[in-house]
Amino acid sequence: MQVMTRAERIEALKRISRERILILDGSWGVMFQKEGLSEEDFRADLFPDHPGQLKGNNDILCLTRPDLVSKLHDAYYAAGADISETNTFSATWIAQEDYKLESAVRDINLRGAQLAREVADRWTAAEPDKPRFVAGSIGPLNKMLSMSSDVNDPGARLITFDQVYDAYREQVLALHEGGVDLYLIETITDTLNCKAAIKAILDLEDEGYEALPIWISGTITDRSGRTLSGQTAEAFWNSVKHAKPFAVGFNCALGADLMRPHIAELARVADTLVAAYPNAGLPNAMGQYDEEPHETAHELHEWAKDGIVNILGGCCGTTPDHIRHVADEVRGVTPRQIPERPKAMRLAGLEPFELV
């Protein structure tokens, strides 16, 4: 099997992004839930006597049920995805501390990247005109740098910037070694946490590691139009644009109908690719997602037709069938054209500030 080098894959990714709308995969959690996994699936022979419950820690499946992880990559690539994420959304020592699995973090990220790489390379060899790419998933943390952990003490924090940086550095090192094509810092609720992840990535480049594209995806948490740490869409962009990301966008929390105005705002201000992967609508009273694949695809087709996106995919509740419908709906639609904005000093707190 002839395998493209990483430099060739990155060049192909950038070229294809100029030609058409790229397709990301969909939800991982909902698909693992469909498997009806037991506690034993999460433990296997590796953690038979590990204290506490491991069920629900989907990242550990990279080690205990790699067959299911590879199967899901296969399903999303077959559905039309160009990019599939590693199963490493919570693979930092900070997040894995809840399961007492801090020592397994490097192995989870390394194996997660290797599994995705193996499946992507197999698809690329079979369909060389449609190369498949791997995004290293770098998810949010359960501890925030921007917000106090104590309402009576505005300065209280559960963690320091250096600790967050170290956690993300361990993750990005293993993802890089495992063979990812780009980093996806996603579901960002706290922009300061995101900045620690960005610094960890950029520091690797300064140390001589091969530079990889960075995709940054925030989360608008409700109808206020702000992230959990309080920023508007434009303020969020102003806070992260120094990283010169390959793509920026939003995912999770909202369905396509409620997410659209925030994606449109990013499309107006961001001088890079704009990406979006909404939930399959809002959850019902039982926490399930009812939006059918053709409904999600119809909404996202409108976004594509109106020229506000370059990358589309799905988040909570979406399945390979959702991704297949989205890929079919946007095939042949011209991707958003990146705007040229006049030079200005653009800063941000909770609101954007521009000094021309």
Mean pLDDT by runs of 10 across the 356 residues of the chain is 90 98 97 96 96 96 98 98 98 97 98 98 97 98 92 92 98 98 97 98 97 97 89 96 98 94 97 97 88 96 98 97 98 96 91 88
Q: Is residue 69 part of a domain?
A: yes
Q: Is residue 31 part of a domain?
A: yes
Is pTM beyond 0.95 here?
A: yes
DSSP 347: E
Q: Is residue 1 part of a domain?
A: no
pLDDT at 85: 98
What is the C-alpha separation between 298 and 160, in angstroms, rounded?
A: 43
Tokens coding 241: 């644009």
pLDDT at 1: 67
Beta bridge partners of 276: 250, 312
What is the C-alpha separation between 35 and 45, in angstroms, rounded?
A: 19
Contact 184, 135 (CB under 8 A): yes
Domain count, the chain: 1
pLDDT at 301: 97
Please compute, for residue 220, the number of CA atoms within 13 A of its CA located in the half-sphere on the CB side: 29
Q: Is residue 252 part of an annotated ligand binding site?
A: yes
Domain assignment of residue 205, given as a range: 6-355
Q: Is residue 63 part of a domain?
A: yes
Q: Is residue 194 part of an annotated ligand binding site?
A: no
Tokens coding 168: 């993300």
Q: Residue 299's domain is classified under what CATH number? A: 3.20.20.330
What is the C-alpha separation between 282 and 256, in angstroms, rounded?
A: 9
Range list of H helices, the chain: 6-19, 29-34, 39-43, 61-64, 66-78, 93-96, 105-126, 161-178, 191-206, 233-240, 256-269, 293-305, 320-330
What is the C-alpha separation between 106 and 175, in angstroms, rounded?
A: 9
- Give the residue from 116, 102, 85, 217 showing the smallest Cα distance to 170: 102
Q: Is residue 62 part of an annotated ligand binding site?
A: no
Sign of CA dihedral 325, 247, 126, 109: negative
pLDDT at 3: 84
